[in-house]
Structure 1
């Protein structure tokens, strides 16, 4: 489980200081170098068409913008935040989970398309898929949500399904509240579920 982030009291924040960024690059740490190296490879792959579509479409542009923003954040953030929150927390504790969920989501969907006629089942039971996607969103983990993200990317489910799932799911952000108040957590999840199902159903009826 994720622990609550510590509160750091300081008189001045120099998170976006150009001078600090130059100094951090000059005395670059191993963690910052590795993150920039990986982001640079990914950014170059999308820029030169080695990764994803070779056509300049919104997906390619979005990935390039996000990777550029991530690189800027890694360059400009303070060393403490980089090491404690980005490297030790996100990279070491969550990145491998996202990779595994993405891998098995793709594996499951491709196996379903090849062996179980999954696409026909989904198309003929879309309301059930909408309900299942919303219920899966109740789980305080964002990994299962990737299954429906992959299905949406492959054109198997409409926007209404992915939106309903996105509204309901909070990822592991719900865990701190869950440890503090089970009743409040359940009420919030119930509220999200009702809103997600309602919005998703209305959009589905509207053809989205």
Structure 2
């Protein structure tokens, strides 16, 4: 059985841990958090270890991969932590709770919850979260550090760049490019390529202001 260390001790870590244990294919041996968030010796019945203590083992033989489970509430923090862990020399892995087409190209540290549909010939980068019920159509290209909420729909041949937040029941129609740091609000329908660092609401979606990543959503 494969072994895994989970970075994070919040709601997303608890949820992903539930699904990992339900699949019974990977053993979680420990959790880790940055030292300033270390308040207990255990989490969910497993050891909780300050990151400074496990950092010395990065890249060494038999060190299990890490899975970053920092949630969507602070998108910039999630990206920063993922990059730091990679730069420190750790291997990261994916959690895949849904069946993917063999033609799907997948990076690392992606969290794909159950009941996600990702169609053939898609390309997915690193550190994305796909919530239950989200759907990515054929030939889409998803870059990195994005979040796809429940029942969001990404059309065929769409390009999603980096750091985008696609909210509940929102849609990006086919052949559209979604620029960096886009926030598409709940139920919105994006019908054309957009500007980066912007918020969009409505059907069809209209720009309503700037999106400053790094603040909590």
Q: TM-score range by the shorter chain?
A: under 0.3
Give TM-score, length-normalised by structure 1: 0.27
Structure of higher RCO (CA pairs closer than 8 Å, 6+ residues apart)? 1
Give TM-score, length-normalised by structure 2: 0.26
Larger Rg: 1
Greater strand share, 1 or 2?
2
Greater helix share, 1 or 2?
1
